[in-house]
Structure 1
Amino acid sequence: MKRLLYIPFLLIFLLECKSTENDSATPQSLVSSIAGKWLMTETEVTVNGKKVWQTVNTLTPVYLIIRSDGVILDGDGKASCCGPNELSINGASYKIQPQSEVTYSLNCAAVNCVACPVLDIEYSGNQMIITYCIGGRVKYIKN
């Protein structure tokens, strides 16, 4: 009789085991898949103690460009003065190694960096969520 009770539990366990599209992906293939131009759509804010997504309310769209070597640029093609050294994409680590010249804004010489060494990225389909180490999350869609 006890064996009959184990069968439903076994079936539930087996049905819960599913793979995702990124399980077998290499860090390089993940960087290649997120390479391109991204449009900021939402930011995560705390309202009454709960975290909710709030639509970005700007007149000028904010873009982020990710190169195939992992370098992150703003909409004008300039790198952040204090950009990360590594990306964590869906849990897979990728060390950023620029393959071509990186252009910075002229005001970077006056910036005292407290950089986020690892940038956490959740990626699925045409949506990406970046979690910054100083707090805050931003949602982007591929443009």
Structure 2
Amino acid sequence: MRNILLVLFLTVLFSCREKKLSPEDIQPLVGTWRLEAVEPAEEVNRWEIVPLQNAYYFKVRYDGVILDANGLPTCCAPKYLKTGKKVFLIEPKEAISQNPQCALVLCLACDTWNMDLQGDTLIVSYCEGNGRNRFVRM
């Protein structure tokens, strides 16, 4: 009886764990992305186009590290990337330089970036209820 309860407990415990993305799973996200449009609030459902001269660029490195257009770490970068129900813990595989601009930025606690990849379009929501950004692959 004790063994059956132990097996049942372990089955429930491991089946409830969040699914994790592997480095292979994030390969479609790797590359350079340009901000194309913003949706200020989720309930509005209206994309506002960002003029090309005001576009923001970022890169997703092979290990999930988020870099700015200059190859420096993005300020307020996430600890996790989430796509669907899978989560990827960002663990740098090589050294990351310091970004001096980050000392001037006050970051809100938003450890997970939710990413929805549709072809060469990436929709990112950073925190619950704070709108979304639409990026295109470069």
Higher radius of gyration, 1 or 2: 1
What is aligned with 2:57?
63
**Aligned length in residues:** 117
- Counterpart of 2:8 in structure 1 is none
Letter in 2 for 1:140: F
Please report how far the alpha carbon of residue 88 of structure 1 lies from its aligned counterpart in structure 2 after TM superposition: 0.3
- The equivalent of 1:32 in structure 2 is 27
SS of 1:107's partner is helix
Residue 43 of structure 1 pairs with residue 38 of structure 2: yes
Deviation at 1:80, TM superposition (A): 2.1
Matches within 5 A, 1:71-86: 71-86=65-80
The answer to whether the 8 A contact 1:31-1:70 is kept is yes
Candidates 42, 52, 60, aligned match of 2:46: 52
What does residue 131 of structure 2 align with?
136
> Once superposed, which parts of structure 1, at least 4 consecutive aligned residues long, lie more than 2 Å away?
26-30, 107-115
2:121 aligned to which of 105, 111, 127: 127
Deviation for aligned residue 1:129: 0.4
Using structure 2 for the length normalisation, give the TM-score.
Answer: 0.74
Supply the distance in 2 between the matched residues of 1:115 and 1:31 (Cα, whole angstroms): 23
CA distance in 2, matches of 1:62, 1:129: 14
Structure having greater relative contact order (Cα 8 Å, sep ≥ 6) = 2
Q: 1:106 aligns with which of 100, 123, 127?
A: 100
TM-score, scaled relative to structure 1: 0.71
SS at the partner of 1:52?
coil
Distance 2:45 2:84 in 1: 21
Change in Cα spacing, 1:28 to 1:56, as seen in structure 2 (3 Å) is same
User: Any idea what the Cα deviations from partners look like across 1:2-60, whole Å, max 9, x if unmatched?
Assistant: xxxxxxxxxxxxxxxxxxxxxxxx532231111001111111135xx732011112424
Task: List alignment gaps of at least 5 residues for structure 2.
Answer: 1-20
User: 2 CA distance for matches of 1:91 and 1:127?
Assistant: 19
Partners of 2:101 and 2:58 lie apart in 1 by 19
